[in-house]
Chains A and B, each alone.
Chain A
Amino acid sequence: MINIQDIRDTARDMLAKGEARMVIGYRRGTRGMLAEPAFITDPAQADDLVWDPTCFNNLSLYLVHDKKFLAHMRENPKGPVAVVAKGCDARSIVVLLQEHYFKREDVYILGVSCEGAGVVDERKLAPLLNGERPSAAAFDGDDFVFTTAAGEKRLAAREVMADRCLECRAPYPKEHNLVFGEDKTGRQLEAPFAALERFEAQDAGQRWDAWSQHFDRCMRCFACRSVCPMCYCDECVVDSITFPVTAGTTAEEKATRIKWIERSATRSENITYLMTRAMHLAGRCTDCGECERACPVNVPIRMLNNKMEREAREKFGFEPGASIGGPSLVATFLDSDPGQFIR
């Protein structure tokens, strides 16, 4: 069991001693379930920090924000940012480090072990609470306990846990500066890629029927991209319209931007967007599941990334975010790569 006070004490200490210029963690939000990202610079606020099954966000995203902000301000960071990171989040940080997005010494990873549990899926939880609004959530062994106006409600973790956590193979932040909680790797509740396999068991026609509806629903808010720490490109290639312009973009570049897709949220454009994103995340996505969670219209985006992840693992023996110095998936190859599809 993680004692939140340990995290708070560490954060307070680091800030007070100037060992970190900011601690990014979670605190209670006002809108209900969700713990919200907290950006703490004042040691006095360290007590706001919380750790519970509603700490969904992959906070490594904010390391990217921070870097972009500093670049924009032309500032040099003074000391590292400390960030609370779950297993998957820590792997995201590894990928960012692998891609030289920032230096190892710029980040202080306060790892938190999911200890064989994980985070809640709001969508699974909501119907079980009958519209009640939980004021607190806590881990308790195999259960999660929610406090609502109607009292305490105990739910089996596996019923309300996010799919990604049910299937998580590495719920322990291997890369860390400090880690809270025990390594209980191996206690996963579902086989890896279980959801994916269930989906793949269908025939091509059924898969298309499902996906075409999903693609139709997408309204291209780009929340999936915005919430993803791996989608850090300043100018996303697929997107010719929104976010194309950074201050450095020249007239020539704007005039000759490739229009891979249109802004219209039509099926074909949505497919191209989401498929490109999946391709771009192949070998980089660490399955933090944030894209799928953020999507307001429940497009199962994670499944696309999962598909790539499984291919990478099974065919190329590749694990995203495994090591900072490791190879990247699409920039390398093995003699033994599959070629049966080539005719």
Chain B
Amino acid sequence: MSENVQRHEPYRDARQQHEADMMGMYVFLSTEVMLFGGIFLAIFVLRLQHPEAFVEASKRMHVFIGAFNTAVLLTSSLAVAIAVHGARQGAARLSTALFGGAAGLGVVFLGLKALEYRKEYEDGLLPVVSDPGRFSSPIEHLFMNLYLVATALHATHLAIGILLLAGLAWRIGRGNLKLPERAIVVVICGLYWHFVDVVWVFLYPVLYLAR
């Protein structure tokens, strides 16, 4: 790490501080793994108990919108990875642009997700808001419930990520976040974004591709 990193209490030196920050973030991400883990367990158990109905229900998902959305997220992750790399070298302009871009891709993801919800709503498949009577089986209803919970939780995380990235782009662009001295902030936000991406990498196949 560069020597001119700012140090604050209770740290003795910059390296210690950097390591503590990174470690804190990794621990936090572990907690997020376990948070989503509960939902994944529910999905697996549901699939084990009702294999056929589960597959039937999954066939109603919009596979290609999901696939495209996965691509959008993966691309945004690339943008963030390069932006972080740039930020550590002090390339402020580049990071601003790439963070802005990644946040934009995040918005695209949410937009497509909203479109998907809308289609499902029109098919009468979206629980809570549309007519539960239209499900072909209770398992399909359950599947859609789980799907809604899982994707909504993910979308919430993504929305937070978008705010973080947009904030970063803003602060770097305005020069409020000195680079590369405060690069750690950028790194940490980047880690969060990638993690949200990883969650989707798992949600997509278990929900959409269970055919």
Tell whether A and B belong to one assembly.
no
Interface, chain A (partner B; CB < 8 A): none
Interface, chain B (partner A; CB < 8 A): none
